[in-house]
Structure 1
Amino acid sequence: MKKDLYTEFDTRQYMKSSDFEIFYYNDATLQHVSPHTHDYYEIYFFIEGDITYKIEQKTYNLQFGDYLLIPPGKPHHPIFNSYDTPYRRLILWISKSYLDTLCQKSKDFAYSFNYVSESENYHFRLDYISHQQIQGALLQLLEDTRGHHPFHEVHIQLLLCTFLILLNRMTYNMLHQVSPSHGNALYLNICDYINSHLGEDLGLDTLADFFFASKYHISHIFKDNMGISLYQYILKKRIHASKNSILSGMPLNQIYHQYGFKDYTSFYRAFKKEYGLSPKEFREQHKLPQDFKLT
């Protein structure tokens, strides 16, 4: 992780910003944090350390993949069990006024916090893939808040909204015990999408944006279900569709454009590798006799 993303620990329990603040802490010597409350929402994403966390009267032994949702006014603090490992976490603060503003567009933005306020269950545990998604989204948000790119303010607002949607979906899935078949459903939906868009951009970035899933997650479930990479699957589907178009008599210079190949050379190489024949040789071998007629 980039060192310039680290935040020096501060006991400040108030926000300088009117909307949100994000921190990445990596402490090797921190040994005590007093119980405290604040008037904003906190999303606490645990990475490493030997920590028990207390919120009100409830304690949680934190493990890799855990996150805590702490509403305003709830006393909380970490309890250090040992100091053998660094204490690493990502913290996102969101003001009440800013969340209220988002909820004017959609009440769904507050889904997770509404749940914890009603249930008083503040602790959630993610699987490895989901953990990586959350961490990646937070780090991107953190990095962009430190940058000064064109349209900087608009971009970080969009990143925050995207993160909250991702968080709420994961919270929903855990509460409704979405089974591994959910991953299979995603895999099947991706297959359907690929089959319907063979001539378009089917890169991981495109699929990740369309299905609101991480590139790593898509690659992982695809390899698990198919035994081949996503790239190999797309290539095979394009080659198979090209073969059928050759048999139907479509001109070769139209076929490679229609099925997403950037040029004839890449189409030629992929086709010959799959079938052992060039597209032209395949067409000649499978050409119907001139006097053949359907009856």
Structure 2
Amino acid sequence: MKKNLKTEFSTRQYMLSQDFEIYYYSDRIVPTVEAHTHDYYEFYLFIEGNIIMYIDGKKFVPTPGTMVVIPPYLAHYARLVDSDVPYRRFVFWVTEDFIDNLGRQSQDYRYLTDKAKNSGSFFINKFTEIEFNTIQGKVFSLIDEINSNRFGKDAKIMLHVSDLILSINRNVYESQNPNIVNADSDSLYESIIQYIETHIDEDLSLELLSDYFHVSKFHIAHVFTETNGLSIHKYITKKRLDMCRDAILSGQDISLVAETYGFSDYSVFYRAFVKEYGTSPKKYRDNIVRNMGLPTT
């Protein structure tokens, strides 16, 4: 039997775990939950639907790609406006102790939780489509591992959850501090990586990179291969395939994914996808996404 990664909504507003809990919900009817508070952080990521959120006496209408970080003891609730579109969202609960433990490894894990806690209010961020698709892919990978029974499950879960938290913090930090990010990119390789990640849907030929960074394309190719172990072409292809996979997991139309993430020819995308994942995009989607409650094509 295939695993169902969608969670049936519960009005329970307390944690059963001492560390974290994460849920993917897709509903057309949602039982009424009155204003409530938690003694843990809530990361709320809105995918789609027609709702109004009420947090700390304020109300707003989230749009797809919106993330809200709600600190402990801040009253909040949501109301469904209509059910024409499924109300889809991720809810990620994480305790202060768990964040503290991660923070002992690196304060970078605490960036958003500290930001919300120190402000005494909630924090809202709007991700780009590419950023949000990547985050969705990470969430589904974490939920999939939680529902698995594979060797090394606990260790893999910790890798997934720490990667998710750090990725969310990094995206927000870099969007709010673009000048600092650019100043820290003190090597050609790091600058290339950053450029690729932020222009993945555009032309990334060696010629274009050479013009942009004002160095020869041969030097770029050499620096990249020496540092990464992959040719720059293979790295870009793999990065695009990863993003296409995340887009497929998030429910996007497969026929549009290739062009959206930089593949100008669908047949090239198809062959590369099969080589990377061992199956066609359609079969990959049917095998993994069907039981998540996402639309299929």
TMscore range, shorter length: 0.5 to 0.7
> Which letter does structure 1 place at the counterpart of 2:15?
M
**2:222 aligns to what?**
195
Q: Is the 8 A contact 1:42 1:70 kept in 2?
A: yes
| Contact 1:56/1:74, CA 8 A, preserved across alignment | yes
Amino-acid identity (%) = 29
CA apart distance, 1:163: 0.8
Aligned to 2:71: 71
Give, in angstroms, the shift of residue 60 of structure 1. 2.1
The match for 1:54 is 54
Matches within 5 A, 1:141-160: 141-160=142-161
Q: 1:139: which partner in 2?
A: 140
The residue aligned with 2:249 is none
The 1:104–1:89 alpha-carbon spacing in structure 2 relative to 1, beyond 3 Å, is same
The CA distance in 1 between the partners of 2:6 and 2:23, in whole Å, is: 7
The superposition leaves residues 136-187 of structure 1 with CA deviations (integer Å, 9 ceiling, x where unpaired) of 11111111111011110001101111111100011112322579x9997423
**SS where residue 4 of structure 1 aligns?**
coil
Paired residue for 1:216? 243
RMSD of equivalent CA atoms: 3.5
Q: 1:7 to 1:41 in 2, by over 3 A?
A: same
Structure 2 gaps of 5+ residues are 186-190, 197-208, 245-257, 270-297
Q: 1:27, 1:101 → 2: CA distance?
A: 34
Please report how far the alpha carbon of residue 3 of structure 1 lies from its aligned counterpart in structure 2 after TM superposition.
7.0
Q: Is the 8 A contact 1:60 1:123 kept in 2?
A: no
Distance of 1:133 and 1:11 partners within structure 2: 29
- Give 1:186's aligned residue: 195
Per-residue deviation, residues 96-119 of structure 1 (Å, max 9, x unmatched): 111111111112111011112233
Q: CA deviation at 1:86?
A: 1.3
Match of 2:86 in 1: 86
SS in 1 for 2:103: helix
SS of structure 2 residue aligned to 1:18: coil
3-state SS in 2 of match to 1:98: helix
Measured after TM superposition, the shift of residue 56 of structure 1 is 0.4
Contact 1:31 1:83 in 2 (8 A): no
Larger radius of gyration: 1
Q: Which has the higher contact order (CA 8 A, sep 6+)?
A: 2
1:112–1:4 distance in 2 versus 1, CA, 3 Å: same
Q: Which residue of 1 aligns with 2:41?
A: 41
Q: CA deviation at 1:206?
A: 9.8
In 1: Cα distance, 2:24 partner to 2:35 partner: 20
- Residue 72 of structure 1 aligns to a residue whose secondary structure is coil
TM-score normalised over the length of structure 2 = 0.64
Distance 2:90 2:36 in 1: 18
Q: Distance in 2 between matches of 1:214 and 1:159?
A: 19
- Structure 1 residues 24 and 228, CA, compared in 2 at 3 Å: closer, same or farther? closer
